[in-house]
Structure 1
Amino acid sequence: MYFLTLVFGVALLSEAYTLKCHSCSPRPGEACNLEEVECPMGGQQCGTLSILSNAGIVQTTEVLTKSCFFPSECVEGSINFGLARTEMRSKCCSTDLCNDESFNATAIAPRPNGKKCYACTAPGHCTEILDCLGTEDHCVSSAMKVGDETLTMKGCASEQICVNPVSQITGSIDGGIDCCKGHLCNSASGAGAIFPLLLAPLFTSVMF
């Protein structure tokens, strides 16, 4: 009886235990000023997330975030709407203050992988055929709120973005992301499109 009580108590203690992690959520172009926080929920890990965004001729913008993450939020992948592309890389760990290391997230030019999806180039024109890059093995359709308007976007995305969409991307998307696996499966029809040069600053400004 004593042994069973001890085991049960240890199990409850492990579920209740929360990590202490380094935290910072800077805006684009700002430094990451670390502070120590206690994770609000059991099961969260310490993590570092890099968001790399580029749009058209605009150079790559990186935002580095450190915080508490659930394992499902520790993803790597990209979402690509043609001229605008956002890539996410993360590292997670499970001991106190373990996310203090620097994270080299230098952009690597990805290569076409053979997958093709529809993309939008202007309002009502979603017929461009886009070559997916790197790990982007799904076609996507989504809607983004810009002011009072809801605009359609189409393109490519990695499986992890489809399976575990995270708030840095979906926080500005109305209705989430619809993914499919077949070539050109995201339909050429669409009510509108957001101009790609708007995408990078929108993605990188949505933080925890």
Structure 2
Amino acid sequence: MQILVLILGIVLLPKACALICFGCIPGLSGRCTQTTNYCPFSTRCGSIRVTSYAYGSKVADIKMKMCAVAEQCVGGSINFGVAQTRITSKCCTSDLCNFQDAPEGSISSPNGKKCFQCDGIDCTKTLKCNGNEDYCISTAVTVEGKKVTVKGCASKLICSETQSAQISAIIGEEINCCQGDLCNTVGLLLFVTPLISLVLFS
């Protein structure tokens, strides 16, 4: 009888002590079905939002809920001048506390940092960075079958080595970050790291 109680305790205790969070990660359609999940002890309940803008208009607004590690419970942005993406999060540590969406990121004030940005093939224009965008960034994207260089400002989250390699995998190009005004020009990268993630979820 004591062995049966011990086995039941081993099986049921993790679920009794684990955090329960809402989960909802949209597919390609942008829709998802909300579920409840038992989360590992090292995680929190998280609501994450990724909002993208082009020429001042919102072009994407992705809302997710999940078991989140501490590194996902932060905010960040990437700014190429004509296109910007902001990530916001709201994390908590009680059962089903992530029922609300993360807030939409707002446009921050300029922070004094400057990076190069590209206008077509001219990558000598200066971009004023906003809020927590304390890195300069440089990469290439494919537009209508042609590879185009893009440069701009990014926050530490975007350039962090602790994130996954999803963005690099999605665009198929290496992304370089550096610190220092106007450092994102060929030959002047002062501190180069691969951009490892914008969307934080695996």
* Structure-1-length-normalised TM-score: 0.69
Over aligned residues, Cα RMSD in angstroms?
3.4
For 1:66, the equivalent position in structure 2 comes to 65
CA shift digits 1:44-75 (9 cap, x unpaired): 22100011110015335321110122211222
Is residue 50 from structure 1 mapped to residue 35 from structure 2 by the alignment? no
8 Å CA contact retained: 1:150, 1:174: no
SS, match of residue 172 in structure 1: helix
For residue 30 of structure 1, report the CA deviation from its aligned partner. Answer: 4.8
**66-75 vs 84-93, which moves further:** 66-75
Contact 2:89 2:103 in 1 (8 A): no
Residue in structure 2 matched with residue 34 of structure 1 by the alignment: 34
Match of 2:172?
174
Deviation at 1:161, TM superposition (A): 2.2
Check the 8 A contact 1:171/1:206 in 2, yes or no. no
Residue 94 (structure 1) aligns with: 93
Residues 46 and 148 from structure 1, CA distance in 2 versus in 1: closer, same or farther, beyond 3 angstroms?
farther
CA offset at residue 156 of structure 1? 0.2
Match runs of 1:9-158 below 5 Å: 18-26=18-26, 30=30, 33-39=33-39, 41-59=40-58, 61-105=60-104, 107-122=105-120, 124-144=121-141, 151-158=148-155
Give, in whole Å, the separation in 2 of the partners of 1:91 and 1:150.
36
Contact 2:49 / 2:101 at 8 angstroms: preserved in 1? no
Q: CA 1:93–1:104 in structure 2 vs 1: closer, same or farther (change >3 Å)?
A: same
Query: TM-score normalised to the size of structure 2?
Result: 0.71
Residue 136 of structure 1 aligns to a residue in which SS? coil
Cα distance in 1 for partners of 2:62, 2:146 equals 26
User: 1:121, 1:128 → 2: CA distance?
Assistant: 7
2:72–2:200 Cα contact (<8 Å) kept: no
Contact kept, 8 Å, 2:88 with 2:103, in 1: the verdict is no
| Cα deviation digits, residues 12-37 of structure 1 (max 9, x gap) | x88xx753321112358856642112
2:81 alignment partner, SS class: coil
SS, match of residue 109 in structure 1: coil
In 2, Cα distance between the equivalents of 1:34 and 1:51?
18
Note the alpha carbon deviations across 1:100-156, whole angstroms, 9 max, x for none: 134332x4232222111011222x432221111121111111344669765432110
Aligned length: 178
CA distance in 2, matches of 1:111, 1:29: 33
Structure 1 segments unaligned to the other structure (5+ residues): 1-12, 190-202
Q: CA deviation at 1:174?
A: 3.2
